[in-house]
Amino acid sequence: MKIPDDVLQQIVARADILSIIGNYTTLTEKGGRYWGLCPFHTEKTPSFSVQPDKGFFYCFGCHKGGSIFTFLMEVEKLSFVEAVETLGRQVGVEVSRGPGDSGEETRRHEALLELFRRVTGSFHYLFTKTQAGGAALAYLTGRGISRETIDAFQIGYAPADPFWLEGFLKKHGYSGDFLASSGLLRSGKTGRNWAFFSHRVIFPIFSAKGDIIAFGGRILEGDGPKYLNSSESPVFKKGTNLYGFFQAKDAIRREKTAIIVEGYMDVIALHQAGLKTAVAPLGTAFTADQARFLRRFADKLIFFFDGDAAGRKAALRSAEICEAFEFTLYAAALPSDKDPADFVQENRVEELQNLLKCPKTIIEYLLENYFEGASSAGSVLQAIFPYIRSIVSAVRREEALTRLAREFDEIDISVIRADFRRFMDGNRKKEIETSESEKKQSSMSMTPELLLIIASIDNKDDFSYIRSRLSLDDFTQAESRDVFITLEDMYRGESGKGDDFPKDAAEGKGTFLRESGNWNRDALVEGIENKTLREFIIEKLYSGELSENRKKMIQDAIHGIRRRNFEKKQRDVERSLRRLAPGNNGNEALIAELLEEKMYLDGELEKLRKMGNE
């Protein structure tokens, strides 16, 4: 989807960056900037700042920064287009497509969401209003789930007839091709399309914004998996979304706490019991993306899994993931052979609430559960050491080791520390190699090439000037070359000169930027795939380093690059002459050619030296 530049400018002009970012963190004016705690990482001293006159934010702690569009993309996990559309709705600017853009992808995205919304309504109606859905409704109400909760989660029923859905939707104008690609149908051997869900209780899966993006289904009878989930699609990623988050969002924000359970019915039963912060992963183990997403809303997580070996393992693995995001972690175990819905069904809601009212710290939970049936102290330590290793804080790590020592009266803490050091040493070499690799990737300093790239991103006229004096071949840094290709592609596209740009050079570069459709600084920055480079450029743009003596800095950088390249060519020519001169051996013509090139290079370098002295 191409967004016209004038639309982006209208949105930026109308949007109050302080008001929008102020919804996520409290900002206080100091020294011409507004400061607050960073919404992207945990900190006690504000390092997050906003400059409303520039329309930029930047965190000096985690180095995230950019425009108001960047902020929404990061905080709400939106694409650039989604961020523009969201902000456009807020400030009353219609986000229309630019000329020549079919908008096919956007329309398909919207059509899928509309289809899922309509199907959800139909499933919910069948579930609550028809005889066909009676057995499914009886199953849920028999488990103590109220109509209010059923409506809140829009629970539905998919009929037993596997051909009903396709016929129903075709009657409402949907084409067979679109339905076949929606994930709601699957091809049968007879050539007819079967419903992916049939004779199942349907649990619609909501995005954080409230759009229905997928479905889960529980079988009522017959063969097949107990639970079935939609496949991933352009609007649905299992490892990112959480079931129940849309319904739990306000409570999680208010209480700064989320309860992590295993499945759909667990979430619904806890909400029914008044525990409104419950969410669940979607047919996968809890992931780092889900933890990162929750960290924007919650400081504390409570794992509430089955009390069996699988539940213990899930709690341990989830805890290791979440420590990286510095949550305060707790856990509670369900009694054997019980799930939350059993408590609701048996009118033991208060007992369920009490289980979660005073959960154990995660280390207490792990010790208590891993001691049971352990063959030796060593097996317990080896089971829990991976979690302790994941603890970011050295103080909290030492507290965990001390707590372990208390559990083993006969083992001195020095022995436990020694065992833990040996455990850590087993991974140390790999850690060092990874650290060195990351250090190389993250170390970046200003060079003439990067200065020109940053100036170009900030101002199209500067790029026009730079490209008239330098070509792609003049750039030697891989990062600079990649961005130059994207900028050149954009420039020629806007100027209608795209056909003569080398396709092999542009292959794969600037896709995001071409989608944004215009020379827009925010889109250009967001289109840089190299995270380290992107953050470096944002930092320099935010610092205002190019504000003073900008023209001279650009000219000096161009002269520096040309001088460097001429000097390299000069050395290559001189090296070739030294190889050829001793015996000559009939190489007079080549020597003459090299001498002529050397004279040219000497002349160009002399010109650059004179320019530098002016």
Ranges of each domain in the chain: 5-91, 103-236, 238-358, 373-429, 448-608
Share of the chain above pLDDT 70, in %: 85
Backbone φ and ψ of 597, nearest 5°? -65, -40
Using DSSP's 3-state secondary structure scheme, residue 317 falls into: helix
For 109-138, what is the mean pLDDT? 91
- What are the tens digits of pLDDT across the range 530-561? 778 887 888 777 766 666 677 888 888 888 88
Per-residue model confidence (pLDDT) at position 551: 83
Q: Give the Cα separation of 545 and 460 in Å (integer).
A: 18
pLDDT of residue 583: 60
| CATH code 3.40.1360.10 for 238-358 | yes
pLDDT at position 280 is 96
- pLDDT value, residue 191: 67
Q: Buried b / exposed e across 164-186, counting CB within 10 Å, b at 16+?
A: bbbebbeeeebeeeebeebbbbe
CB-side neighbour CA atoms (13 Å) of 219: 9
Q: What is the pLDDT of residues 269-309, one digit of tens each?
A: 999 999 999 999 997 889 988 998 898 789 999 999 988 88
- Between 133 and 96, whose confidence is greater? 133
Q: Regarding predicted confidence, which is higher, 154 or 500? A: 154
**φ and ψ of 204, to 5 deg:** -65, 140
Q: Please give the CATH number for the structural domain made up of 5-91.
A: 3.90.580.10
**Quick one: pLDDT at residue 295?**
86
pLDDT in tens, 150-183: 999 999 999 999 888 888 888 888 887 788 778 8
Model pLDDT, residue 517:
43
What pLDDT band is residue 106 in, cutting at 50, 70 and 90? low
Work out the average pLDDT over 570-581: 80
Residue that wins the pLDDT comparison between 427 and 388: 388
CATH number, domain 103-236, options 3.90.1170.20, 3.90.380.10, 3.90.980.10, 3.40.1260.20: 3.90.980.10
What pLDDT is attached to residue 418?
A: 86
Mean pLDDT of 393-410: 83
Are 344 and 352 in contact by the 8 Å Cβ rule? The answer is yes
Does residue 496 register a pLDDT over 90? no
Which of 513, 478, 522 has the alpha carbon at shortest distance from 492?
513
Confidence band, pLDDT 50/70/90 cuts, at residue 605: confident
Confidence of residue 259 (pLDDT cuts 50, 70, 90): very high
How much is the pLDDT for 371? 66
DSSP 454-506: HHHHH-HHHHHHHHTT--GGG--SHHHHHHHHHHHHHHHHHHT-GGGS-HHHH
What per-residue string of b and e applies to 70-90 under the rule 16 or more CB within 10 Å gives b?
bbbbbbebbebbbbbbbbbee
510 pLDDT band, cuts 50/70/90, is: very low
Mean pLDDT of 237-245: 90
Least confident of 98-107, 245-254, 342-351: 98-107
Whether 103-236 and 448-608 share one fold: the answer is no
Residue 129 has pLDDT above 50, yes or no: yes
Quick check: 227 pLDDT over 50?
yes
Task: Report the C-alpha gap between 505 and 475 in whole angstroms.
Answer: 13
Could you please state the CATH topology (level 3) that the domain comprising 448-608 is classified under. DNAb Helicase; Chain A (1.10.860)
Q: Name the residue with higher pLDDT: 484 or 501.
A: 484
What count of residues does the chain have?
A: 614
Quick one: pLDDT at residue 105? 66
